[in-house]
Chain A
């Protein structure tokens, strides 16, 4: 039973380019969460999605960042016009569609480096 999959594992972009990060949840999971982690810090919540719906984007920067979780395919975190401050590890987590889907299982992350 495969866990949460993320790709690419490492991504290098120059300032002004776009970054697209992909996340495939665990089989049977329909809730996806994105978190960002700076070196030597804890994870910070960005956005929570269910299929075709954004449920909570309170941690998402208002500009340049967007997320989607289409009916088919992986969840995508998109960062437009990247800046050096976007360099971080981005983790996706998923949980099952139960009434109290508390436990979140994490993928290996995408490490974004902005030159």
Chain B
């Protein structure tokens, strides 16, 4: 079946380092992907998106990379800050709905 999954459930990084969060998807027909950040007790917050006709997209301190050959998605956060601590989800657009992975918890330590 269709699924979106993550390789690492928890990622610990030192403040100032770069973070890389990975995601694998299984539906090769998917053409739109989103990364969300979810802080404790809050709803998912949109970070960045990418369409399948692109392989890279940059935002402020964040970059999303898409490798359609191996169906892999990654989120790179530059100069990670304590405020980046949260659970990060990738989501795949399937017709009208989003299919979410289980999430990666990012912990930033000083």
Q: Give chain A's interface residues, CB within 8 Å of chain B.
A: 4, 6, 33, 35, 40-45, 48, 55-56, 58-59, 91, 93, 102-109
Measured CB to CB, the nearest residue on chain B to A41 is B102
Which of these binds chain A: B61-69, B73-81, B88-96? B88-96
**Shortest Cβ gap from B98 to chain A (Å):** 6
Overall SS of chain B's interface = strand
**Supplied contacts A33-B97, A106-B45, 20 more A-B pairs, CB within 8 Å:** A6-B43, A33-B98, A35-B98, A35-B100, A41-B102, A41-B103, A42-B4, A42-B89, A42-B100, A43-B44, A44-B100, A45-B99, A48-B96, A56-B95, A58-B97, A93-B98, A104-B34, A105-B46, A106-B44, A107-B43
Residues on A with C-beta less than 8 A from B95 are 56
Is the CB–CB distance between A43 and B100 below 8 Å?
Answer: yes
**Shortest Cβ gap from B102 to chain A (Å):** 5
Q: Give chain B's interface residues, CB within 8 Å of chain A.
A: 4, 32, 34, 36, 42-46, 49, 89, 91, 93, 95-103
Q: Report how far A35 CA is from B98 CA in the complex, Å.
A: 9
Q: Report how far A55 CA is from B97 CA in the complex, Å.
A: 11
Q: Report how far A93 CA is from B34 CA in the complex, Å.
A: 14
Tell whether A56 pairs with B34 under 8 Å between CB atoms, given A91-B44, A109-B42, A109-B43.
no
Q: Report how far A104 CA is from B93 CA in the complex, Å.
A: 10
Measured CB to CB, the nearest residue on chain A to B97 is A45
